[in-house]
Amino acid sequence: MAPADGRLVSISHSPQARPREALQTELDEAIIRAAGSHRRAYALTVVHVSRSDHSRVQSSILTSSIVSQTGLGALDRLPVELLLQALRHMDMQTLFSLRQVNLRARQMVDSLKEYRAVVSYGLTAYCALLRMRLAAHVTLLGFYRLLCSQDCAFCGKFGGFVFLPLWIRCCFECIEEDPETRMVTVAEVRRLFRLSRAEVGRQRACLTMPGIYTTGLYSADKSYQRARLKLVPYFPAMKEFGDRLETGVPRSRHQPFWDPVHNFMASCELPYYDPQTQTVDYGISCVGCEARAVEGNPGQASRPAVAPWDGIFSRDNFLKHFKGCRQAQKLWEASPEAALEAIIKRDVPEKSASTVTIRGETHPTEKPWFNVPQNIVSKTSRRLHLQPDHPISITRQIIQANFPEPTYKYYNEYSPVVTTHQNFDSLGFPKDHPGRALSDTYYLNEKLLLRTHTSAHQAETFRANESDGYLISADVYRRDAIDRSHYPIFHQMEGARSWDRSKVPNGDVAAAVLEDLERLPKHDVVVEDPNPPMHPERNPLQEAHHSAAEAEALGKHLKRSLENMVVDIFTRAKAAAIKADPDFVDEPLRMRWVEAYFPFTSPSWELEVYYAGDWLEVLGCGVVKQDIYINAGVPSQLGWAFGIGIDRIAMLLFKIPDIRLFWSEDQRFLSQFAGVSASLDTLKRFVPFSKHPPSPRDVSFWLRSTSAAGGNDKAVFHENDVMELVRSVGGDEVESVSLIDEFVHPKTGRKSVAYRIVYRNLERTLTGQETNNLHERVRQALVNKLGVELR
């Protein structure tokens, strides 16, 4: 299609072949390109860090200058979950310094999603905090939460900036006009309030960055601020020391000398990051409103610092504004891309309601929630944990044998389809928990999903109250990375044991638990357990519901029960190892308990086992949060619970090198375990039947921008989407997918990524042509489904 002015417009794919939702997104982007703009003048008016400056500090922020492999000293004694939580609450200056200690420190910090978001989307603000000596006042969690907010703290409009000294989000107009953003020099504050050096030191002072600043968006009064000024917010000082102002003197003497440019010297750009959709919004101005204002004031020689038509909208609010702005609509109608709207209305009907059948039950699906690919749906009926002589089922049997009936009842048949209430709400997951995101969880519709853990059935099992204890084994589903130890379907076992205050003698639960403890078998394995039964900060008692004696007794019963199970598992693993390899070094088994954090239990622990020369984390457990019992309708009960990954234990027991083998139907694999279910003592290690060569292929692409007005490089993109797409096309012939390169174009700001995909069939060698054909299908799927541009 060629419009009258000769510009070419390209619609890359036939609209009928693409989902309506994708076309609507493209239409929204086209409207923003035609009628919206991201004003560079805004960013240049406040603290601005150029891309060349970014490159100078990225070596410190994104890489480590030290490559030592040593650990973190005393910090390594903390449970990993607790250590990561401590890092989240660490201030940005300390975090910056910690990353430079060694490679271990860098890996721990870089593993935090909050840190990755901050350095990816808030790097300008991070650099400003460090260089203005404010980083010690902002924690990583505080930074991330502000990055994930979008409203100005003063007026409630879209705020694309951060006022650094108070660490609050604000809009450009409030930086210019709100009295709480007024900055004055330290000398001026000392003069007004007669402060001592110590009192001045308590103020949150910032050391400004040299650069070109103006007194407003359209001001021609530009000046290069070479000197680094020490500024403090005026209003906090006024609130604290205002009573010191001299009385009986002219009011003018109480007014500080205030330079309007100081406000801008303490503010910088901060986009809004949506963790659910993985999108970034810098804010959009309406070109139509500006054009209308210019038409109405043709002779206007100057403009105010912030004109009424200079409002900044979030992406969604701009699209709402567009519907009511006639001038913006005129710009759109004159755009050559306006034809896309007519094509959508004419040729692409609304998609009718659809359904999906899982284990014989039909469920409604709903866009945009439904994200379960067919290769996952087809495997929901496999139920490996119930398949006789399968390593997953054998491992379940071994664990189950340590918790005998009738004390424990076994639940192995629960449907994988659960409600969001079962999976999240009943367990106390917050509404903004990352596990709820479409990028992490398989949804059928807004209310139904494929369970992400066996705890989704915890409340209903407690409510059924059919036995003192229970074990649940099931397949669980999560969108995840692709490598030899991760698969989107894996298996968990959860167990619990409860006591009822209304049924034990004299209501003395502690005595009843200890009495049951004496009936449990004892083992002779060395166990390290250096921590107290509970700790008020690290591992707290549920004081409102449990006595210390009850919690301590529950902990003892829990630990003995799980120690017995682990001893049984690893004794069998050793026997299989010795049978397969007479030279196997039989080191004495050791176990240790470490404090942990889980949302469903408190106090909580993890059990680690020293096996084959390394400490392995085996399971997590703890005293059940009493709210779960209360919500299940059994408030008089209390007890413990644990969870263990069956696949990981099975890989260790049978020495299975690749998790994909569990899903193989090759008899060369399955026949090796024939008869083991009937006689667990015949367990033996897996013997590889062949080793087929890998076939690596690389693919690189530009990410699709969410907004041409929004700062170039921010795309609707999550790495799990790439993993899911590659797996849906390549199936189990994909061994691994890894990110090997990232690049941001220095001029356009567009981001490019490169992935290495390793193809390897477990049963035969792939030919070069087969691999090339498979890889080409992956490349085309990336374009068609994720909207990327191949390089």
> Where exactly are the structural domains of the chain?
1-38+283-350, 175-267, 379-682, 695-790
Q: Stretch 171-199: mean pLDDT, rounded? A: 82
Instruction: Confirm if 508 and 446 have CB atoms less than 8 A apart.
Output: no
Q: How far is CA 279 from CA 421, 487, 504, 644, in A?
A: 26, 26, 55, 34
Q: pLDDT tens for residues 615-638?
A: 888 999 999 999 889 988 899 999
The predicted structure's pLDDT at residue 221: 52
Beta strands in 177-243 (DSSP E): 183-185, 206-207, 211-213, 223-225, 230-233
Looking at residue 192, its amino acid is L
What is the rounded distance in angstroms from the CA atom of residue 509 to the CA atom of residue 629? 15
Helices (DSSP H) in 36-185: which residue ranges?
40-45, 51-61, 80-88, 92-99, 103-110, 113-121, 123-131, 140-147, 172-177
CA atoms within 13 A on the CB side of 390: 19
Q: How far is CA 131 from CA 53, 54, 93, 128, 421, in A?
A: 12, 12, 10, 5, 46
Residue 176 or 400, more confident:
400
- Domain 695-790 class, CATH top level: alpha beta
Arithmetic mean of pLDDT over the chain: 81
The predicted structure's pLDDT at residue 248: 44
What is the rounded distance in angstroms from the CA atom of residue 164 to the CA atom of residue 171? 13
Instruction: Confirm if 473 and 642 have CB atoms less than 8 A apart.
Output: no
- The size of the chain, in residues, is 791
Q: Which of 290-294, 510-514, 754-758, 782-786 is the least confident region? A: 290-294
The predicted structure's pLDDT at residue 714: 37
Q: Is the pLDDT of residue 498 over 50?
A: yes
Instruction: Confirm if 727 and 487 have CB atoms less than 8 A apart.
Output: no
The predicted structure's pLDDT at residue 300: 45
Q: pLDDT tens for residues 571-587?
A: 998 888 888 888 877 78
CA torsion through residues 380, 383, 385, 391, sign: negative
Instruction: Confirm if 734 and 757 have CB atoms less than 8 A apart.
Output: yes
Q: pLDDT tens for residues 660-703?
A: 889 988 888 888 999 999 988 888 889 887 677 888 999 999 88
Percent of the chain topping pLDDT 70: 83
The predicted structure's pLDDT at residue 346: 55
Q: Is the pLDDT of residue 602 over 70?
A: yes
The predicted structure's pLDDT at residue 365: 92
The predicted structure's pLDDT at residue 268: 87
Q: How confident is the model at residue 407 (pLDDT cuts 50, 70, 90)?
A: very high
Q: Stretch 59-79: mean pLDDT, rounded? A: 63
Q: Stretch 45-72: mean pLDDT, rounded? A: 56
Torsion angles phi and psi, residue 136, rounded to 5: -70, -15
- At 579 the three-state DSSP class reads helix
- Domain 379-682 class, CATH top level: alpha beta
The predicted structure's pLDDT at residue 303: 44
Run of H or E residues at 477: strand 469-477
Residue 726: both structure tokens together: 């590659």
The predicted structure's pLDDT at residue 17: 43
Q: Is the pLDDT of residue 713 over 80?
A: no
Residue 113 or 384, more confident:
384
- Of the candidates 659, 656, 648, the one whose C-alpha atom is nearest the C-alpha of residue 685 is 656
Q: Which of 64-73, 306-315, 414-423, 716-725 is the least confident region? A: 64-73
The predicted structure's pLDDT at residue 426: 84
The predicted structure's pLDDT at residue 225: 64
Task: Answer whether 379-682 and 695-790 agree in fold.
Answer: no
Q: Stretch 196-224: mean pLDDT, rounded? A: 68
